[in-house]
Structure 1
Amino acid sequence: MASPSEPSYDQNRTSSWLVCKTCGTQFPTDDKTKITTCFICDDPRQYVPPSGQSFVSLGTLRASGHRNVFTPMPVDPERLIAINSQPKVAIGQRAILVRTAQGGILWDCVTLLDSETIARVEELGGLKAIVISHPHYYSTHLEWARAFRCPVYLAAEDSRWLTQQDARHQVFLTETETDVLGTTVLKLGGHFPGSLVMLFEDRLLIADTFFATPSGLGNWETDALGAVRERPSGMSSFSFMWSYPNMIPLGPDDLQQMWRVLKNYQFNSTHGAFPGLDVVVQTPGELKRRVLESMQIQIRHSGHGEHAMLKETASW
């Protein structure tokens, strides 16, 4: 992707640049008089903590014992590898390395990048692309792109939240559907205007374009005595929020737009932005039905009992 004349990746060049402690986004300077606040956290979808805005650097994170942990995901342990920074950095999201037949894709991004992480990713086949779901996970995506010399796919609608631009690496998606190395990247919108999900065969990587609820994660197959039971009806499996930390839900028209795209695709599992948020079902069509049911529950309980979305059905 990058031109042959581009300098080789050098982690020391940017090691002192400022990184927002709250969201993990990197700014291209180490001058704290130039960057006093993070405009991503000032956006009403995010927040500034009570202690106020503060910054760290990649160099400090590397020197303070932070490391990335690679965890094969049980649903497909050879091809889906979660990458999570420990101790927690910023929001605490995971990236997912998707090992397709055409090459590795990093779905979303974590802030921490070090030589150990680069070596481990290369052992697993390297990266040919990075796809970022929305601005809260922009983090240090250009560091990753330069290290692996690969493109980063971003929704064009969300470019205003970038702290850095690099035409050699950043590719802005304008279509609702984009093929990336055999996966299907879908623009659903909602949480952000360009919020993305990615379909890898029948696995839907959702970040927090929508979010698995506790009842969606619950085990409804057996009761306390081991008897088989049906999942109670009318339970939500997913929430759809404009702001997750501030608990502001999306309205029915946003959900309708998301469903217009998603209803055309089939999937048997969803994989969220954080560990422990995977929903896997065995019955074809069941999870898609649950997504629609969850949308309809949110619409109905927000006082829109006559909305057209309540008449939608999910087909397989």
Structure 2
Amino acid sequence: MPTFLCSACGTSYPPADSPPSACPICDDERQFVPEAGQAWITREKLASRHNIAWRLHEPDLFSIHTVPAFAINQRAFLLRTPHGNVLWDCIALLDEATKEIVQGLGGLSAIAISHPHYYTTMQDWSRAFGHVPIYLHAADREWIMRPAPEIRLWEGDTLEIAPDITLIRLGGHFPGGTVLHWARPHDGAGVLLSGDVIQVAADVRRVSFLWSYPNMMPLPAREVRRIGEALAPWRYDRIYGAFVGKDVKSDAQAVVARSIERYAQLLT
């Protein structure tokens, strides 16, 4: 039986003869059902129409995204470490070229995902690279549309999944909204992979925070200040966000602090 993917968000569903009647993730106010209605695609059709583009951002940090654009069109990151490689966030497409490239870079030891909009085909990625664990925050368990034994639900505010690689639950966009902190990149300055839990803005000297991005629904100022307090102990110089070009290349901690203050002022 085929595995159907939602064309609007990329979420995969259990194999079935026909697609689901609806996508709960798109029915939620943090996403949307397109005006033309819910549509579906199989993994095979997706692979026949799209490819994966790669980019090296700095030593040991690659991003991947789908071309032409598909669904939300986020990017994922492959982080190489001496203790195994980590896939941060996920995209729906996994093509044969990417399987070869990832294996050539040392395979995967773990997958971690910021929030449910990027769960996509995480199950396929895990199984393609040896059934590696998929770390999701337990607060978002209700949004897992395709259960898999590789999923590891974690609780609390932080989880170190490898030396110097820590998941930090910030909440906000989703209760389990998570960012990844990389303590020792090549220059030792610290990197944050933020998904859109912290959204790098069009002006990459700013970041922002929303409950719903497509529907432009804000978070309360108190919630954004709480996110800032949760991040305060962590040292980082750069942020790589969910979308191509959305990178804060220096002084990222100060960028986050200024953005939080301005956000709170505008909601007061």
What TM-score do you get using the length of structure 1 for normalisation?
A: 0.80
Matched, 1:177 2:155: no
Identify the residue that residue 55 of structure 2 maps to in structure 1. Answer: 71
What code does the residue aligned with 2:256 have? V
Structure label with greater radius of gyration: 1
Identify the residue that residue 203 of structure 2 maps to in structure 1. Answer: 215
User: 5 Å matches for 1:235-314?
Assistant: 237-281=206-250, 286-303=251-268
CA contact (8 A) 2:62 2:77 kept: yes
Identify the residue that residue 15 of structure 2 maps to in structure 1. Answer: 29
Identify the residue that residue 153 of structure 1 maps to in structure 2. Answer: 135
> Residues of 1 paired with 2:195 and 2:172: CA distance?
13
Runs of 4+ residues over 6 Å off in structure 1: none
Match of 2:204, SS? helix
CA contact (8 A) 2:204 2:247 kept: no
Return 5+ residue gaps in structure 2 as ranges.
184-189
Match of 2:33, SS? coil
User: 5 Å matches for 1:84-99?
Assistant: 84-99=65-80
Identify the residue that residue 20 of structure 1 maps to in structure 2. Answer: 6
What code does the residue aligned with 1:62 have? A
How many percent of aligned residue pairs carry the same amino acid? Answer: 37
CA contact (8 A) 2:84 2:108 kept: yes
What TM-score do you get using the length of structure 2 for normalisation?
A: 0.94
Q: Give me the CA root mean square deviation.
A: 1.3
Identify the residue that residue 196 of structure 1 maps to in structure 2. Answer: 178
Q: 2:23 aligns with which of 35, 38, 53?
A: 38
Return 5+ residue gaps in structure 1 as ranges.
1-13, 218-236, 304-316
Q: Deviations over 1:132-190 (max 9, x none)?
A: 000000000011111112000001000100111123x1111102111111201100000
How far apart are 1:95 and its partner, in Å?
0.7
> Residues of 2 paired with 1:274 and 1:288: CA distance?
19
Q: 1:133 aligns with which of 114, 123, 135?
A: 114
Match of 1:214, SS? coil
CA contact (8 A) 2:202 2:246 kept: no
Match of 2:257, SS? helix
